[in-house]
């Protein structure tokens, strides 16, 4: 039964990676509509506090934050999933995931209508993973 729990965790991780890749396959027009909607809501919320940010800056911040958060949760999920692996295997998989998944994600965007492959986004994605891993270890350390 212990093996089933591990398989279930790896399956959830694969589904989450598929979710990330499916977001990259969303055409630019639909992706922009989603970002614009969130930016509009955020702009209205900020206006309550008399804070005004140009709409194009707000959408940029929202899009880059979405990249970071998507990968932050991937780092947390990966750390939880790989807890049963030996240290060497875990470190190799972590390094591969931190580099390869953002590259594959951006390459998928390059073949999606209206989207592009950006090194800046790869770095944001990798930073999100690393922060997720760091927070996981920090919380684990504080629990002990």
pTM above 0.75, yes or no: yes
Tell me if 81 sits within 8 A of 10, measured CB to CB. yes
Instruction: Supply the mean pLDDT for the chain.
Output: 93
Say how far apart CA 57 and CA 46 lie, in whole Å: 13
Looking at residue 4, what is its pLDDT? 72
Residue that the structure tokens 């800046």 belong to? 120
pLDDT at 2: 60
Give the model confidence (pLDDT) of 86-133 as tens digits: 888 988 999 999 999 999 999 999 999 999 999 999 999 999 999 999
Q: How far is CA 18 from the centre of its chain?
A: 11
**Domain spans of the chain?**
2-143
Q: Which residue has the tokens 């780092």?
A: 75
Q: Is 50 exceeded by the pLDDT of residue 1?
A: no
Q: Tell me how far apart the alpha carbons of residues 119 and 125 are, in angstroms, rounded to a whole number.
A: 10
Rounded to whole angstroms, the Cα distance separating 13 from 92 reads 17
């Amino acid at each position: 039964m212990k093996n089933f729990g591990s398989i279930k965790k790896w399956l959830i991780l694969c589904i989450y990676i598929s979710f990330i890749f499916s977001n990259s396959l969303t055409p630019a027009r639909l992706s922009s509509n989603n970002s614009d909607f969130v930016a509009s809501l955020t702009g209205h919320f900020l206006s309550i506090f008399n804070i005004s940010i140009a709409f194009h800056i707000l959408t940029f911040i929202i899009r880059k934050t979405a990249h970071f958060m998507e990968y932050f949760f991937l780092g947390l999920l990966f750390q939880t999933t790989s807890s049963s692996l030996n240290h060497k295997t875990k470190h190799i998989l972590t390094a591969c995931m931190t580099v390869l998944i953002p590259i594959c994600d951006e390459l998928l965007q390059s073949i999606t209508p209206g989207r592009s492959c950006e090194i800046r986004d790869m770095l944001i994605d990798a930073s999100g993973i690393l922060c997720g891993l760091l927070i996981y270890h920090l919380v684990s350390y504080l629990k002990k």
